[in-house]
Amino acid sequence: MTSFAGWQMPLRYTSETAEHQAVRHAAGLFDLSHMGEIPVRGPGAGAALDYALTGHLSALRPGRARYTMICAEDGGVLDDLVVYRQGEDEFLVIANAANTEVVFGALRERADGFDARVTDATGDYALVAVQGPEAAGILAPLAAGLDLSAVRYYAGTFGEVAGREAWVARTGYTGEDGFEVFCRPEDAVSVWDALAAGGAAAGLVPAGLAARDTLRLEAGMPLYGNELGRDVTPFEAGLGRVVKFDKPGEFVGREALTARASSGPIRHLAGLTIRSRRIARHGYPVLLGGQTCGTVTSGAPSPTLGVPIAMAYLEPGAGAEGVLSVGIRGEAVPAQLTDLPFYRRRQER
């Protein structure tokens, strides 16, 4: 167990490597109840979110989800978010645990003047995620009232799981197919136990934060505090696509983000494969010809590739020529520039 943003979280249940492999090849079960749930409701909810976030949420159809960000006036990222449109006037914003208070505060402030109500309902929700190629097959018999094949990637629906009311969404942070089940805290144990029992034969195992981190890293997904923060805009992170300049109306950060989008070369997020068994960790320098040309944001052994991988911010032009290395506690270890993501699941359709 480990302390994480005020929550006691399982870092691993047995072996993080085994948990990682289970998610890639069968399924893993995650307790993500630490995530922040912030409902935004009312006739003006869509317009309020268009103003508050970088995305065009009013254009989202009910039952669909969007990956988006909330930025400060200067374009710095306050958090990355998943937003579900649960109904015409009902949105559910999912924030990182460490940022829930900041996101809630900013949303409430920015929703002022809109016909929308913002609440922090984190304590009203537990979140159990089942992720992996077997996820749909494991969930289906426990959600008999739902047609999961109709729930597409980045979509969600109300329904019952193991007889408990839930919002069931086909989203995740692992690079695999999978579902996130938002239920009442008092129903969480029933939902967890039913999925654990129902999935065991298919190879489902409980998985902790450590596996979640290596899974998202292989999938090239950013982690707030590592790849994202107040000092980066979505563009440096290679996620400029989440900024919808063509949406109607004003939005917080537009001016700064417009300037950033049209400015010259900026530091950029890159993937690295390390030519060693040592791990390039958060904060280690990336070197080119003995000079620092970047900083590692996340690094871990990749169970899928069998070598250490990392993401790093590199200065403009770094890596275009020459051999990069990472300074690992005094030793320059060669590193190969690698396209992100490191891992992409095979699509069935």
Q: Which residue has the tokens 């000092």?
A: 231
**24 lies in the site for other proteins, by CB under 8 A:** no
Of positions 4, 5, 17, 67, contacts other proteins by CB under 8 A: 17
Q: Does 41 bind other proteins (CB under 8 A)?
A: no
Assess 12 for contact with other proteins (CB under 8 A).
yes
DSSP 8-state code for residue 143: -
CA distances, 270 to each of 95, 321, 331 (Å): 25, 14, 21
Angle in degrees, 0-180, between the axes of helices 100-110 and 45-52, rounded to the nearest 10: 120
Q: Give the integer Cα–Cα distance in Å for 267 and 313.
A: 6
CA angle, 48 as apex, 172 and 262 as ends, to 5°?
75
CA distance 335 to 324: 5
Closest distance to other proteins from the beta carbon of 340 (Å): 20
Cα torsion through 108, 111, 115, 121, rounded to 10:
-30
Q: Is 5 in the site for other proteins (CB under 8 A)?
A: no
x/- mask, other proteins, residues 310-329, rule CB under 8 A, reads -------------------x
Q: Binder to other proteins among 100, 214, 298, 325 (CB under 8 A)?
A: 214
Longest dimension (CA), the chain: 61
The Cα 48–Cα 51 span in angstroms is 5
16 binds other proteins (CB under 8 A): yes
Alpha-carbon distance of 321 to 109, in angstroms, equals: 47
Which of residues 278, 323, 327, 334 is near other proteins by CB under 8 A? 278
The whole-angstrom separation of Cα 277 and Cα 280 is 9
Which of 17/190 has CB closer to other proteins?
A: 17
- The nearest distance, CB 23 to other proteins, in angstroms, is 14
**Judged by CB under 8 A, which of 75, 222, 301, 319 binds other proteins?**
301
* By CB under 8 A, residue 279 contacts other proteins: yes
CB of 300 to other proteins, least distance (A): 6
CB of residue 80 to other proteins, shortest distance in Å = 22
300 binds other proteins (CB under 8 A): yes
**One residue of 281, 315, 323, 345 binding other proteins per CB under 8 A:** 281
Q: Which residue has the tokens 């049209």?
A: 262
Closest residue by Cα to residue 60 from 83, 38, 93: 83
Shortest Cβ 306–other proteins spacing (Å)? 11
Judged by CB, which is closer to other proteins: 163, or 225?
225
Closest contact distance (angstroms) between CB of 327 and other proteins is 14
Q: Closer CB to other proteins, residue 184 or residue 281?
A: 281
Q: Rounded distance, CA 112 to CA 63, Å?
A: 26
15 interacts with other proteins by CB under 8 A = yes
Under the criterion CB under 8 A, does residue 277 sit at the interface with other proteins? yes
**Toward other proteins, which CB reaches closer, 210 or 270?**
210
Query: Of the two residues 78 and 300, which places its CB atom closer to other proteins in the complex?
Result: 300
Q: Is the dihedral of CA 53, 58, 63, 65 positive or negative?
A: negative
* 326 contact partners, CB below 8 Å, separation of at least 6: 272, 274, 280, 284, 285, 286, 287, 296, 310, 312, 332, 333, 335
Measured from the CB atom, is 53 or 210 closer to other proteins?
210
Quick check: 226 binds other proteins (CB under 8 A)? no
Binding site for other proteins (CB under 8 A): 11-12, 15-17, 210, 213-214, 277-279, 281, 300-301, 308, 329
